[in-house]
Amino acid sequence: MFSNYKKLRENLESGNVWIKEVVDYYLSNIEKGKHLNAFLSVFKEEALERAELIQQKLNSNTAGKLAGMVIAVKDVLSLKNKPLTCASKILENFTALYTATSVQRLIDEDAIIIGKTNCDEFAMGSSNENSAYGAVKNPYDETRVPGGSSGGSAVSVAADMCMTALGTDTGGSVRQPASFCGVIGMKPTYGRVSRYGLTAFASSFDTVGVFANNINDCALVLDVISGKDEMDSTSVDVPAINYNDDINDIKKLKIGYVKENFAEGLDKEIYDVINEKIDKLRQNGFEIKEIHTPHSKYSVQAYYILTTAEASSNLARYDGVRYGVRAKESVTIEEMYINSRTEGFGSEVKRRIMLGTYVLSAGYYDAYYKKAQKVRRLIKNDFRKAFEEVDLIISPAAPSDAFKIGEKVDDPLAMYLNDIYTTTANLTGNPAICIPAGRDSKGLPIGLQITGKDFDEVSVLKLADFMIRYLPGSSQFPG
């Protein structure tokens, strides 16, 4: 009903719609969709109070850029005086002491935060089955996963529970669930959006991203949350997004595709859909070029070595003393550490902590961690060289459609391989987006990924917009 903010804003300013109506609509949909388990907390009273205040600002012509936009936030981003669980038992009673910069910037522009969404515990997972509060269900088929780790945010947009949502992307955690749920998911360049207030999984990979139903909304939210932040030394002072939907000049861009991304392991229907889109671009006058990134085949291995190492370090603080739940049945301080972490962390988090500790250990640091850092540099060099030949790169977003809940729980390697097409953008830091490209024979969404040059989000967004609007089968609800 309110899938386009530009139209909504026009209706709000003309008085045809009141902000309270918008909030009531989404609150109703959240209640109807409770069985999808997308939300961990909903801020009903606060949202309605904010609606009244922002309506007054709208009436006096002093409202911000996002007045009346209802947004959900992944529960790894802090919001002062609200629960911050990271979908983990170890933080089940923790309340945030401050607000993340990305969230505060939304609030400052009069967006309404409707609630915190479910996710894989500490953002570790590709299916949203690792949450201490239960799996999130895919709205296209409730027996299937929504993808992860930002599955709750993807579902909240796909099931019309909010207009846009924030997620986080460490190795594809915005783009892969966007693919599985048939929505738009954008990961900006590392450093464009402040990480202050984002609970760290892997600090050199973590990126705040956006889910939306259309490119204009995605670009608007991304523009608002972007920019230098004194609280985050990794944030970068770069020009704003300033996106507009004039795509008349889009055909001058050169489009590349990596042949290695269309090899064994990619589902045949996805292969056909992505190739069809590349052919359609060629027919529409785009220059299409085959490129090679020879070291990308090592991306998953390098990614999991480096991110588990960083996770091992970042999660050391959760020990029952400084943060999180403290185990009661302990005699010594060592027992308290062990028992608190054993009771508080789920199996996937424990697995990654152990892997990370192993690769950082004295006997294996050079063999694994140091070598993975070298591979990361080689992959970055591959993409730098590729972007000397082309402006954008097209690839699948995931090797399959949404798989069944429970199908890969006992096979971590198969789960990790779901990130095969998305991890490279996190290793290199480049911006990337997933857009709906169609549906397969089971009626499940297929996503297409577009990767761009550092800080060239505008070109990524423009090609995405062109493909959604003008290429058959790429509409928001394909088929």
Peptide bond into 149 cis (omega under 30): yes
- Residue partners of 152: CB distance under 8 A and separation at least 6: 37, 38, 39, 40, 72, 74, 75, 117, 118, 119, 128, 136, 146
Alpha-carbon distance values, 242 to 6, 164, 192, 221, 224 (Å): 15, 18, 14, 11, 10
Pair 95, 81: CB distance under 8 Å: yes
- Which residues lie below 8 Å from residue 10, measured CB to CB, with a gap of 6+? none
Which is nearest to 402 in space by CA: 144, 78, 143, 53? 144
List the one residue out of 82, 64, 61, 49 whose CA is nearest residue 15. 61
Question: String of b and e for 406-443 (b: at least 16 CB within 10 Å)?
Answer: ebbbeebeebbebbbbbbbbbbbbbbbbbbbbbbbeee
The reply to whether 150 belongs to the active site is no
User: What are the DSSP calls for 440-472, one per residue?
Assistant: -TTS-EEEEEEEESTT-HHHHHHHHHHHHHHST
Catalytic-role residue among 78, 127, 156, 173: 173
Q: Is 173 a catalytic residue?
A: yes
What is the CB neighbour count within 10 angstroms for residue 330?
A: 15
Identified catalytic residue from 126, 127, 131, 149: 149
Q: Is 74 a catalytic residue?
A: yes
Active site residues: 74, 149, 173
